[in-house]
Amino acid sequence: MATTTAKLTMTSTDLIDSQDLGITATMTMKQAGSATGLNNTTGLARKTLATGHAAYDVVLDADYTAAKNHRLYLRCVGTAIAEYIEIKVEGVTLGRLYSGDWCLLPYSGTAATDVTADPSADGMTLEYMFFYED
């Protein structure tokens, strides 16, 4: 059984009326309705996104079994402050990852849930890894 743990730590000393913020959350990635860990990954990959700002297919619903408990890690690699990669699910914008930003998304694999990355500039790099169950 694979065990993959994700950990998020958020801190700030001046976010809310000069109060300190300290949040730490840990999650073990498990198969749907099970104590068994996710057992597959695409591996960590980087993709330099095509010129002409073409959207890149990160995950296609047809490639993964429906009604599962997958996870998708995405990160915008780069240093240009104004550039971003827009993350879309079935053409609907979920949000933007600016240079250095990352996210970890749940993904069920149900019909009509393709995930694409649409860069704001040519030659941007997306780092990604998909964790999934059979």
Q: What is the pTM of this model?
A: 0.89
Structural domains of the chain in order of their starting residue, each with its CATH number? 30-132 (2.60.120.770)
Per-residue pLDDT of the chain (134 residues; tens, 9 = 90+): 688 999 999 988 887 676 788 899 999 999 999 999 998 999 999 999 876 767 899 988 888 767 788 999 999 998 899 999 999 998 899 999 999 999 999 988 776 788 999 999 989 999 999 999 87
* Percent helix, percent strand, percent coil in the chain, to nearest 5: 0, 55, 45
| d(C-alpha 68, C-alpha 130), whole Å | 13
Q: Which two tokens stand for residue 39?
A: 């057992």
134: number of Cβ within 10 Å: 9
CB contact at 8 A, 28 and 5: yes
